[in-house]
Amino acid sequence: MTGFTLPALFDSSSGMNMPIFILLVVVYFGITFALAWYGYRKTKTDSDFMVAGRKTHPLIMAISYGATFISTSAIIGFGGVAAAYGMSLLWLAFLNILVGIVIAFLVFGPRMRKMGHQLQASTFPEFIGKRFESRGLQSWIGLFIAVLMPLYAASVLIGSSRFLETTFGVPYETALIVFTIVVAVYVIIGGLLSVLYTDAFQGAVMFLGMFFLLIITYVKLGGVTEAHTALANMAPLVPASLQSIGHQGWTMMPVFGSQLWWTVISSLILGVGIGIIAQPQLAVRFMTVKDNKTLKRAVLAGGPFIFMMAGVAYIVGALSNVYFFNETGKVALEAAGGNVDSNMPAYINSAMPDIFIMVFLLSLLSAAMSTAASQIHTMGTSVGYDLIRNGLFKGNSSKTILFTRIGMVLTVIASVILAFELPPGIIARATSVFMGICTSALLPMYAGGLFWKKMTKKGACASFFTGLIVSGFWYVFVHASEAVPFGICQLLFGQPTLLAGTWTLVDPILIATPLAIVAAIAVSLKTRPPAEKFVEEIFSEKEDAKASS
């Protein structure tokens, strides 16, 4: 999750003690590179480089998982959206924890870990390919990631670079190149072990920043009860433009069936809340631990971490309305000049003490770096391992790490080019589109492969391509948020969208995912099932018993 336009959080007149801040930055990068070097020194085998040796500590795995998912948009972008739409976004935090942590770690995780170990899979595409005995499907999934994830990665690079540009006053181009090189170097050299160790440290910085943000906010507003009561009483102050689309107040859900209701429910809560479980860079984390007990223990760290990252951002974003109204007589959206992306930086710059601003800047940097590092690793393994080694060379090569590093370099270059070329305002849209397509194209096939013995190769292929094609069609020709800016429908048919009314508000995930599920079931039931011996072997519980002993 990423995407924001960040005004300067401090300037020469703010009283910010720059020498202290520079010292904090130096210490931060010193620790980051020390952990990356430690990961590099512990990387001895292909397994270490690809899946961290399959013996990651539960706390490190859980925080790395959360830090990979939560980037600057959850804190800045979605916090600003909460300032406009209100506490309804807490349902997104609820789904992030329920689906992204509880269901992912306790339901999907154990199966993924066990099957991944038995199949000796090192990447998400390889897991899918081996589960359905299809090297071609592995290559297709690898190509899917290689083509689409650079768009997602570019959005992270853009957001991170804009943050560095406005904070330190360096040119955007310089910030983009420097940030990319810094992250790429330790990922390319150290592999997943370096990513996990640096993620854990960066996640700790993020947790610290968000914890103090919540505490200071409630202190500023007179306490928990007082703050929420004041926000509820501000319902009549909702801007007319938001009232007209269904906004009823910052502590209430939008009017059922309204334009805002569809935006909040389908695109934000369901699109992002469910999308977390189908992210390849997150699913592969389950193959980095040694047993299922580790995953169960990881829930205890992952749940609170996600709440502190996402939940706090949504709470503070909504409560910033109270602060701005008390200080300026305006609600947050008006005080931020109508730009939701500017709300959280404006609030922090105005309400928080200087020492907190320093910590929060490092929290944002941590959020950006942790996500970018995992993206680079996932893209590189998809190109170098799944496409080149196992696709082009059909697995007949021992140069796994070399090919993976080449893949990382190629996809980093592609991401940087996109970051230079993409138009303004593309960040949040690129993120939501990537997560939506992943859900529709990958989740039915992924879930079927884990839990349904009769899921066939042809069923998996039908599900994947149905989700991918229907999602793409809906984004380009129906869903107004993307179809109108794309302009392809207008060019071909002389109208902004093929359908009208409520259909233009329905997120593709609600159309493409059910169709992909139907395709998976229908085709699997009509085609020859996989060999019974193979299925029984990968669904066997023997490996779990052995591991637990």
- Band (pLDDT 50/70/90 cuts) for residue 548 is very low
Quote the pLDDT of residue 199: 85
Maximum average pLDDT range among 80-84, 213-217, 352-356:
213-217
CA distance 313 to 209: 11
Pair of tokens at residue 230: 């004041």
For the full predicted model, state whether its pTM sits above 0.85.
no
User: To which residue do tokens 């790429």 refer?
Assistant: 184
CA distance 173 to 179: 10
pLDDT above 60 for 547: no
- Nearest Cα neighbor of 48 from 404, 548, 292 is 404
pLDDT tens string 387-424: 888 878 777 767 778 888 888 899 999 989 988 887 76
Q: Residue 26 falls within a domain, yes or no?
A: no
pLDDT tens string 89-137: 999 889 989 998 899 999 999 999 899 888 888 889 999 999 999 989 9
pLDDT tens string 425-450: 566 667 778 888 999 999 999 999 99
Q: Residue 29 falls within a domain, yes or no?
A: no
Contacts of residue 71, Cβ cutoff 8 Å, sequence gap at least 6: 1, 2, 156, 159, 367, 368, 370, 371
User: To which residue do tokens 């801040």 refer?
Assistant: 21
CA distance 11 to 426: 27
- Band (pLDDT 50/70/90 cuts) for residue 240 is very high
| Rama region for 133: left / alpha / beta (φ>0; ψ in -120 to 50; rest) | left
90 and 520 Cβ atoms separated by less than 8 Å: no
pLDDT above 70 for 5: no
- Nearest Cα neighbor of 319 from 233, 221, 235 is 221
Q: Residue 36 falls within a domain, yes or no?
A: no
CA distance 324 to 83: 11
CATH of the domain at 461: 1.20.1730.10
- Nearest Cα neighbor of 466 from 528, 527, 530, 522 is 522
Contacts of residue 466, Cβ cutoff 8 Å, sequence gap at least 6: 512, 515, 516, 519
Q: Residue 170 falls within a domain, yes or no?
A: yes
CA distance 123 to 138: 10
Instruction: Please give the residue range of the domain that contains residue 322.
Output: 45-548
Q: Residue 5 falls within a domain, yes or no?
A: no
- Band (pLDDT 50/70/90 cuts) for residue 214 is very high
Q: What's the length of the chain?
A: 549
Contacts of residue 220, Cβ cutoff 8 Å, sequence gap at least 6: 323, 351
Q: How many domains does the chain have?
A: 1
* Cα dihedral 62, 112, 381, 95 sign: negative
CA distance 114 to 543: 7
For range 485-510, the mean pLDDT = 91
**Which carries the bigger pLDDT value, residue 292 or residue 426?**
292
505 and 260 Cβ atoms separated by less than 8 Å: no
**Crossing angle, helix 109-119 and helix 427-451, to 10 degrees?**
70
- Band (pLDDT 50/70/90 cuts) for residue 17 is low
Q: Residue 39 falls within a domain, yes or no?
A: no
Q: Residue 37 falls within a domain, yes or no?
A: no
Residue type for 407, please?
Answer: G
pLDDT above 70 for 473: yes
pLDDT tens string 165-211: 766 667 888 888 988 898 888 888 877 788 888 888 888 888 888 99
Quote the pLDDT of residue 103: 92
pLDDT tens string 53-73: 777 787 888 888 887 777 766
User: To which residue do tokens 């336009």 refer?
Assistant: 5
pLDDT above 60 for 294: yes
Quote the pLDDT of residue 543: 53
Mean pLDDT of the chain: 85
